[in-house]
Every structure is written in C-alpha cells, then in structure tokens.
Amino acid sequence: MACLALLPLAASAPLRFFYQQWVAVQLARVRDPSLVVIGDSIAAGAMNFGRIDTINLASNGLETRQIARLLAKAKSYRPERILADGGMNDAISGPIDIDGLHKSWRTMCAEPTLVAALPTPTRSREINARLATIRTIIRSECTSIIDAPALTGSDGLLKPEYSLDGVHLRPRAYQFWIAALH
C-alpha cells in the first residue's frame, strides 16, 4: 500500500521536486544546504540539480529587482553558496532599467557566497541584444560568475537542442551550470 502512495511522486517530476524541496527545507534545520538558488523561470527550471541539499527559491516571471529581494531569504538558510540567475524577464519586457539593474546586481554580488549565472541567450536576436547589456552589467558588478557558452551556437543564438521554447532550457542544459559550480 505504501508503494501505491509513492506512485505519484515517481510519475511526476513537479511532484517529486516539491517533495524534494520539502525534504531539503527540513534538512536545512539541522544542516546548512550546499546551494540555494534564486532567480526567474530559467533558474526555477533547474529544480534542485538532482541534489537533496539544494533549495530552489526561483519563480516564474521575476525581474532582477524582485530576485534581489529573495537574497535575504536565501541567506537565512546559511548555504555554502547562493546561485542567482536573472535578467531574462527584464530583457523580454524591455526597455532595460540600467541603473536599477546595476543596483540590484551590486546588492546581490556584495554577498560573498553568491555566484551570478549570466543569462543564456535566446532564439531571438532582439532579446539577445538586451541580454548582452545585462550580461555586461553583471560582469561589471559581480566577481563570481558562471557562464555556459556551450549552449550558444556560432550564430549567437541558443542552440535548439538545449531549448524548450527558444527561451527556457531543457533539463540537460543545466549540466553546464552544474559543471561550472564545481
């Protein structure tokens, strides 16, 4: 009977992730997590990188200023590292608030445990032009940065094999983030 109760967890990645996050938060009461993730839907798509000691606070639709507000909650878990990913929704909604982005990234990157993930390009040249500006801002404000250039084709666009919809990443694309974090 217990096996039947676990069947939905086995069959559903979102349910499995929700359960793993619940376990990770419970474990964080007795042991600091190795990683807390903050960010937009790109970061949310990483789920927990297949690790029970990772807490993912990322959420769909967040702009960088909103992601910066998650930093205090991320720090409250006392993780070894915080991974911040953001900028995609700022680029999509445009125009870019350059001063606001500088301020948000400066605030986040003042946290010594924070690693900033440069936003991956999309399949849209228009959005990528805005993302290039955001990547420059992140590089100017942060010292600990990860990038995944292998996701980008020679045309400067996100490779189709790593994309679900031209913006969001397929699960296997996150292997490049995992490799850069180690």
CATH code: domain of residue 160 = 3.40.50.1110
pLDDT higher than 90, residue 11: no
In the structure, what pLDDT confidence band is assigned to residue 100 with cuts at 50, 70 and 90? very high
> pLDDT, tens digit, for every residue of 116-163?
999 999 999 999 999 999 999 999 999 999 999 999 999 999 999 999
The better pLDDT of the pair 34, 27 is held by: 34
- SS3 for 82? strand
pTM, 2 dp: 0.89
Which CB contacts under 8 angstroms, 24+ apart, belong to 161-170? 163/122, 163/123, 166/122, 166/123, 166/124, 167/42, 167/88, 167/92, 167/122, 167/123, 167/124, 167/127, 168/41, 168/42, 168/45, 169/42, 169/45, 169/46, 169/120
> pLDDT, tens digit, for every residue of 57-83?
999 999 999 999 999 999 999 999 999
pLDDT higher than 70, residue 3: no
Give me the sheet containing 54-56, strands edge to edge: 54-56, 35-39, 81-85, 114-117, 145-146
Question: What residue numbers bound the domain in which 81 lies?
Answer: 2-181
**Total of domains in the chain:** 1
pLDDT higher than 60, residue 7: no
pLDDT higher than 70, residue 8: no
pLDDT at 42: 95
pLDDT higher than 90, residue 15: no
117: closest CA among 149, 85, 78?
Answer: 85
Q: Half-sphere exposure of residue 3, counting CA atoms within 13 Å on the CB side?
A: 0
